[in-house]
Amino acid sequence: MTTTPDIVSFTATPSSVINGATNAYTIEVESPIPLLDTDKLVFTFPSEVTPTTVTPLCTAGSNILSVTCTRSG
Protein backbone atom coordinates (compact mmCIF):
# COMPACT_ATOMS: atom_id res chain seq x y z
CA MET A 1 0.00 0.00 0.00
CA THR A 2 1.42 3.38 -0.99
CA THR A 3 -1.30 5.62 0.47
CA THR A 4 -3.36 5.64 3.64
CA PRO A 5 -7.13 5.90 3.13
CA ASP A 6 -9.07 8.54 5.03
CA ILE A 7 -11.19 7.48 8.00
CA VAL A 8 -14.88 7.39 6.99
CA SER A 9 -16.14 8.71 10.32
CA PHE A 10 -14.82 9.52 13.79
CA THR A 11 -16.81 10.49 16.89
CA ALA A 12 -15.73 11.10 20.48
CA THR A 13 -18.69 11.27 22.85
CA PRO A 14 -18.15 12.37 26.49
CA SER A 15 -20.14 10.83 29.33
CA SER A 16 -20.91 14.37 30.58
CA VAL A 17 -21.09 17.78 28.93
CA ILE A 18 -20.57 19.65 32.22
CA ASN A 19 -17.55 21.97 31.98
CA GLY A 20 -14.66 20.67 34.12
CA ALA A 21 -16.27 17.29 34.82
CA THR A 22 -14.27 14.08 34.76
CA ASN A 23 -15.40 12.13 31.70
CA ALA A 24 -15.27 8.78 30.05
CA TYR A 25 -15.22 9.05 26.27
CA THR A 26 -16.74 6.66 23.78
CA ILE A 27 -14.63 6.80 20.62
CA GLU A 28 -15.97 5.35 17.41
CA VAL A 29 -13.96 5.02 14.21
CA GLU A 30 -15.15 3.74 10.85
CA SER A 31 -12.50 2.66 8.38
CA PRO A 32 -13.07 2.20 4.63
CA ILE A 33 -10.83 -0.89 4.71
CA PRO A 34 -10.63 -3.78 7.19
CA LEU A 35 -8.37 -3.19 10.18
CA LEU A 36 -5.75 -5.85 10.79
CA ASP A 37 -4.59 -7.10 14.19
CA THR A 38 -1.27 -5.34 13.59
CA ASP A 39 -2.87 -1.93 12.88
CA LYS A 40 -2.64 0.92 15.38
CA LEU A 41 -4.80 3.95 16.02
CA VAL A 42 -3.13 6.80 17.88
CA PHE A 43 -5.16 9.52 19.59
CA THR A 44 -3.53 12.80 20.60
CA PHE A 45 -5.47 14.86 23.11
CA PRO A 46 -5.46 18.67 22.89
CA SER A 47 -3.46 20.45 25.60
CA GLU A 48 -6.71 21.49 27.34
CA VAL A 49 -7.50 17.82 28.09
CA THR A 50 -5.56 16.05 30.83
CA PRO A 51 -5.77 12.27 30.43
CA THR A 52 -5.87 10.23 33.61
CA THR A 53 -2.66 8.70 34.90
CA VAL A 54 -4.40 5.33 35.07
CA THR A 55 -4.11 2.93 32.14
CA PRO A 56 -7.15 3.52 29.92
CA LEU A 57 -9.98 1.01 29.90
CA CYS A 58 -10.81 -0.03 26.35
CA THR A 59 -13.38 -2.44 25.02
CA ALA A 60 -13.90 -3.74 21.51
CA GLY A 61 -17.00 -2.74 19.59
CA SER A 62 -18.78 -4.56 16.80
CA ASN A 63 -16.63 -6.46 14.30
CA ILE A 64 -13.54 -6.10 16.52
CA LEU A 65 -12.26 -9.17 18.33
CA SER A 66 -10.03 -7.36 20.82
CA VAL A 67 -8.24 -4.10 21.52
CA THR A 68 -5.20 -3.18 23.57
CA CYS A 69 -4.85 0.32 24.98
CA THR A 70 -1.78 1.97 26.37
CA ARG A 71 -1.02 5.43 27.62
CA SER A 72 2.22 7.18 26.76
CA GLY A 73 3.66 10.54 27.71
| Residue 47, phi-psi category: left (phi > 0), alpha (psi -120 to 50), beta (remainder) | alpha
Q: What is the pTM of this model?
A: 0.62
pLDDT in tens, 2-46: 677 888 898 989 899 998 888 888 888 888 888 777 888 888 878
**Which residues lie closer than 8 Å to 56 by C-beta, 6 or more apart?**
69, 70, 71
Write out the H or E segment, with its range, that includes residue 29.
Answer: strand 25-30
Mean pLDDT across 45-49: 79
| Max CA pair span of the chain | 43
Contact by Cβ (8 Å): 43, 59: no
Q: What per-residue confidence (pLDDT) applies to 53?
A: 67
Write out the H or E segment, with its range, that includes residue 12.
Answer: strand 9-14
